[in-house]
């Protein structure tokens, strides 16, 4: 069989694997015990092949399930520590919690995305014991990580987090970037990115080729599909729902998008003033700084418009008799969410943001959101 035929066969099989794996809800799969082999045996062969592919473990196209089980049981404890270096801080903290508690921690809803993301990529198996609601790490993986994790991991995780922060800023506004600009910008701050393709293999991005091709060679643009640690299984979730815009960003724009990490800036002061003007809040109103800080932080990490409403509900109560006032409030929130301040949150001054052409503000009927407000 020719090399071309082998490649075509492998590509076809991988495509079929993706289609099967991503159509399944592995969250509800039943797991058994803390044995790595037992958990692997509970997966279908296509899922095992996907794990091997993601971790870069070579397997023969005609390998049997028993042979694949033996191979992964041997390789996973070795590959997992290496792959974990490509995680972000949230995933790393989840691992530390498991290690500090001998491989078992209580499951909370906030852990769901991390567990799903790590499980999808085959990094390891933080499994849910369905009847007891615990996250359990297989004994073989636990022992391997205890031997290999040291202080050097922290430095690598911090570097990865910088890339994640860049991607958040880009996804929040556009969802599409200039490939060369992105590589050059990130490489200015991350020395270990030695070539233009290396970041693709770091594990920070999971491309879902079944949705769209990950690279458009005609336009030299890169589509960002899925940040692993937040399980972006739905593109809409982190494309800000309405605010996806196709635009080639410059290097300077990317750097600005990624560097706004604190609210203690002149930009924040101007935004606070604008927020107060919109909502007619006095400067000495109790909690205004807390409200705005909370809102802006959530906007920066990709909260949707309705999620911002939920956050505001923690601080404001509306009157059912004043529907006009409620609509006015939602319109003001919409302006803050989609207009110039959104750019200020990412590092632009207000003057710079006002010069940006074609700021995209979607047509949203705020009346549809009236029932989402909190009333007295």
For the chain, the domain total comes to: 3
* 176-178: strand order across its sheet: 176-178, 221-223, 215-216
Residue 338's domain comprises 266-372
Alpha carbon distance 117, 160 (integer Å)? 16
Is the pLDDT reported for residue 369 higher than 70? yes
**Of 217, 238, 259, which one is at a domain's C-terminal end?**
259
Alpha carbon distance 166, 181 (integer Å)? 12
Measured between alpha carbons, how far apart are the two ends of the chain, in Å?
Answer: 73
Mean pLDDT of 287-302: 57
**Of 242, 259, 276, which one is at a domain's C-terminal end?**
259
Is the pLDDT reported for residue 40 higher than 80? yes
* Residue 320's pLDDT band (cuts 50, 70, 90): confident
* Residue 174's pLDDT band (cuts 50, 70, 90): very low
Mean pLDDT of 46-61: 74
**Per the structure block, which two tokens stand in for 21?**
């794996």
Same domain, 160 and 91: no
* Residue 217's pLDDT band (cuts 50, 70, 90): very low
3-class secondary structure, 227: strand
| 81 vs 66, more confident | 66
Residue 12's pLDDT is 64
Of 40, 44, 39, whose CA–CA distance to 16 is shortest?
44
Same domain, 330 and 351: yes
Same domain, 241 and 309: no
Same domain, 195 and 183: yes
Residue written as token pair 């400067």 = 283
| 25 vs 55, more confident | 55
- Comparing 26-30, 99-103, 245-249, 347-351, the range with the smallest average pLDDT is 245-249
Query: Phi and psi of 366, rounded to 5°?
Result: -65, -20
Same domain, 45 and 12: yes
Same domain, 34 and 125: yes
Same domain, 242 and 275: no
Mean pLDDT of 58-76: 85
| 235 vs 367, more confident | 367
| 252 vs 80, more confident | 80
Same domain, 135 and 8: yes
Region of 26 (left: φ > 0; alpha: ψ -120 to 50; beta: rest) is alpha
Same domain, 248 and 323: no
**Per the structure block, which two tokens stand in for 299?**
């906007």
Asked if 18 and 24 touch (Cβ cutoff 8 Å), the reply is no
The rounded Cα 313 to chain-centroid distance in angstroms is 25
Same domain, 293 and 275: yes
**Of 259, 292, 317, which one is at a domain's C-terminal end?**
259
Residue 226's pLDDT is 30
Same domain, 82 and 10: yes
Residue 7's pLDDT is 56
Same domain, 109 and 173: no
């Amino acid at each position: 069989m020719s090399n071309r035929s082998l490649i075509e066969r492998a590509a076809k099989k991988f495509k079929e694997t993706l289609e099967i794996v991503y159509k399944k809800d592995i969250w509800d799969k039943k797991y058994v015990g803390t044995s790595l082999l037992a958990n692997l045996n509970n997966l279908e062969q296509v899922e095992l092949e996907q794990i091997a592919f993601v971790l870069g473990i070579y397997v023969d196209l005609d390998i049997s399930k028993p042979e694949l089980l033996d191979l992964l049981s041997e390789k996973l404890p070795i590959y997992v520590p290496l792959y974990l270096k490509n995680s972000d801080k949230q995933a790393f903290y989840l691992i530390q919690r498991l290690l500090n508690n001998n491989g078992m921690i209580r499951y909370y809803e906030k852990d769901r995305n991390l567990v799903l993301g790590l499980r999808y990529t085959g990094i390891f198996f933080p499994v849910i014991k369905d009847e007891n609601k615990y996250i359990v790490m297989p004994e073989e993986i636990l022992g391997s990580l205890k031997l290999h994790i040291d202080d050097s991991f922290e430095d690598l995780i911090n570097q990865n987090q910088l890339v994640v922060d860049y991607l958040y800023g880009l996804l929040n506004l556009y969802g599409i970037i200039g490939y060369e600009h992105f590589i050059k910008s990130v490489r200015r701050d991350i020395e270990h990115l030695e070539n233009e393709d290396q970041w693709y293999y770091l594990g920070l991005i999971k491309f879902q080729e079944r949705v769209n091709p990950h690279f458009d060679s005609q336009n030299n643009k890169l589509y960002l599909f899925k940040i692993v640690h937040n399980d972006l299984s739905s593109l809409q979730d982190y494309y800000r729902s309405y605010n996806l815009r196709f635009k080639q960003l410059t290097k300077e724009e990317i750097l600005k998008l990624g560097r706004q990490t604190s609210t203690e800036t002149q930009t924040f002061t101007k935004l606070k003033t604008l927020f107060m003007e919109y909502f007619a809040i006095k400067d000495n109103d109790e909690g205004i700084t807390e409200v705005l800080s909370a809102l802006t932080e959530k906007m920066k990490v990709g909260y949707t418009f309705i999620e911002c409403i939920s956050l505001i509900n923690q601080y404001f109560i509306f009157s059912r008799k004043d529907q006009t006032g409620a609509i006015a409030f939602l319109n003001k929130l919409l302006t803050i969410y989609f207009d110039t301040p959104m750019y200020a949150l990412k590092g632009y001054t207000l003057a710079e943001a006002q010069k940006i052409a074609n700021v995209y503000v979607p047509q949203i009927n705020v009346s549809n959101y009236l029932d989402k407000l909190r009333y007295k």
